[in-house]
Structure 1
Amino acid sequence: MSTTTTATSLLRFATAGSVDDGKSTLVGRLLHDSKSLLADQLEAVEHASRDRGHDAPDLALLTDGLRAEREQGITIDVAYRYFATAHRRFILADTPGHVQYTRNMVTGASTAELAVVLLDARNGIVEQTRRHAAVAALLRVPHLVLAVNKMDLVGYAEEVFAPLAEEFTRYATSLGVPEVTAIPVSALAGDNVVTPSAHMDWYGGPTVLEHLENVPVAVDPTGDPARFPVQYVIRPRTADHPDYRGYAGQLASGVLRTGDRVRVLPSGRTSTIAAIDALGEPVRTAWAPQSVTLRLTDDLDISRGDLIAPAEDAPTPTQDVRATVCHLADRPLRAGDRVLLKHTTRTVKAIVKALPSRLDLAGLAQLPVGDGLQANDIGQVLLRTAEPLALDDYRDNRRTGSFLLIDPADGTTLTAGMAGTAFGSGAAGRPDTDHGWDF
């Protein structure tokens, strides 16, 4: 698989850390020292810092933008920031560290290619550190960075950093994370965030920004099988196009070409791509995440929510869904609940058949569910849908292996699901039965 670190490449990454570990300060330092702030943004932070009695700008205010966050001194909601350097563009999701906002980390890291987990060098690896590593592994985030913060408060000592890096790497690797990088930093002083530290000559690795700029990002669109959820059927019925029937949508993964033999799901009928239109012009090839219109050689019954995939590499539709879920709503999810399941552009009725267990993210043990899955719980669920769904395993395709459960009464998002996923043993993606979290 080819990779690139050109100025056109994009890295989506998320940050996570326990309360008061300095995560918002790290993000603020990253934006400040990489000169990614506008003058009025910096002026606003300086003004707010003076009002709070600080002599220097409080860089944490760059991400803790909600009034409730500033009052409590913690991050509550996911804050998205967009910035760029000469080497790469970035979309940063700064997620909360408090245990009650685990669901927010799931939201922020669901599309991330890298996660930065922060810890306080004085406190070492705590339950939230393990929790965040486990969530990143569960979401199949391929690159994990451990930022050991507040090294200035432990005398920049290598003997403090080294055992923490070793313990975390061992733990994350056991969860199946393929790449772990540990970096000693001081977000407040700026050591190893953007500029190499003058206080830690024993460390020869990259700064946080240097690693973000150079970590490989997959850009080969042919790596995954093609998946095309149909969003809209186009029938112009004009004199110029009396027989035009196109299927519009965004290619979720892979590549499609004119002449490809495809299968329409859940019906299972096959056809051939006769033409591909992009921005009103015919093209021979489309790749993810392009939005295009497909035309087929056969007149099939296709509607919104159907999935077009290669005829020889299409998922098998099913009405029985086994998945790992993170419960997002304040009201519990219980066996017997009737819900709506939204998968790509398709929404179907479903019933929760069983909740076999929930996951203890600290010790990775399966625990009884009790009175349903509560907010922030991660557990196993068995669902029965009213109509077949063409789900991929989340380990194979994050886009078409994910879904949402919705309250049919008021439209509230209840649960985020990952079809068939389990903690794996590295690149092979095999379940790790040592932790008892095996489907």
Structure 2
Amino acid sequence: MADAAPRLHALVEQLLGAPFPVRVRAWDGSQAGPPDAPALVVRNRRALRRLLFKPGELGLARAWVAGDLEIEGDLYTALDLLAGLIWERGEDARTLGQALRDPDFRSAVRGLLKLAGPPLPPAPPREEVRRTGHLHTRRTDRRAISHHYDVGNDFYALVLGPSMVYSCAYWESADSTLERAQHDKLELVCRKLDLRPGARLLDVGCGWGSLAVHAAREHGATVVGITLSQEQAAFARKRVADAGLTDKVEIRVQDYRDVDDGPFDAISSIGMAEHVGSAKYLEYAQVLCALLRPGGRLLNHQIARRPQRDESTYGVDSFIDAYVFPDGELAPVGTTVGQLERAGLEVRDVESIREHYALTLRRWVARLETDWDRAVQLSSPGRARVWRLYMAASALAFERNQIGVNQVLAVRTPESGDSGMPLRARTWN
């Protein structure tokens, strides 16, 4: 008898102590739950075993990446409905120990174990990264960057479009094109840094060379771009050569800690500081400060999280850490500003562009979904599923103000106190 979905739906509601807001379609073809809601498709019993033996976000991620779970219907709507049960339970939610003292909770777990059946769940999908050794050494940072960025330049071109900019765009309106918005972001960065002909720019985490090419071609800057990704560097060098800018742009595979040919007039760090780690952040800021000439500017473009009451639980068993940005860490914007100033920089402007990232991510997801078969061919089914979930969930997180993104403009102000900044702020707008 096809009754797995009704049993599963009832057991999940019993376990959560709350209504389950999506429909469930099980491996036996049965369905249960709100008929007009998106469906959580449980393709096999293995999905339940993954969830039961690793409860929470990581178990869900493993089942999703392996293809044991799927969403039927609008992904954003489903994630929005599930967010309150998965990611937003709150710090006052019951601990597992408290839950296990509840007879109804224990009964639901027994029912799910029976429904899941033997044996134990399989190993995690091959796309999952296992953390080993010390964090944020040169070796572990190279490995983490390679995991995320050496997926294949063709895959990223499919998702990002011709700009090959993998950071938040800057939108004039939601009706603008992705290409226009990314161009405007590159231009905004260059204007904030006051780049002029002959200015020397260090682009830390230069990606596929988009900012380096724009700064040299449109503003006459001389640029050193550094990345830890071999694939990015190869792509960026070809791009520089094709643009006829080899006399102005140098692309290196180099750790920011190993740059020794300063000073620079300006430094850009766009979407790179998230990889630095909280324990290394002050060192990162000090290194960049030392590489700037007196009066030089730093533009630090970085995703920020909201402060938590219990900071010790941040990132534990996280989908993002296991599948997307291994060893990456987000910090509250106040922490970032404090560390930059501790390093000797004067923070002159902080601009939140949170809504801009939500728009950017939705465009990337649309590109991925439109050419899904090609994306799978260029990477793997699991890798394409990782990117789809990560970008869609991130778009919702930006829209809900759970995370933000900020451009922090800082100056290495000389002892004279003359920062070189205009008297009226934001003359670049």
**TM-score with structure 1 length normalisation?**
0.24
The answer to which structure has the higher helix fraction is: 2
The answer to which structure has the higher strand fraction is: 1
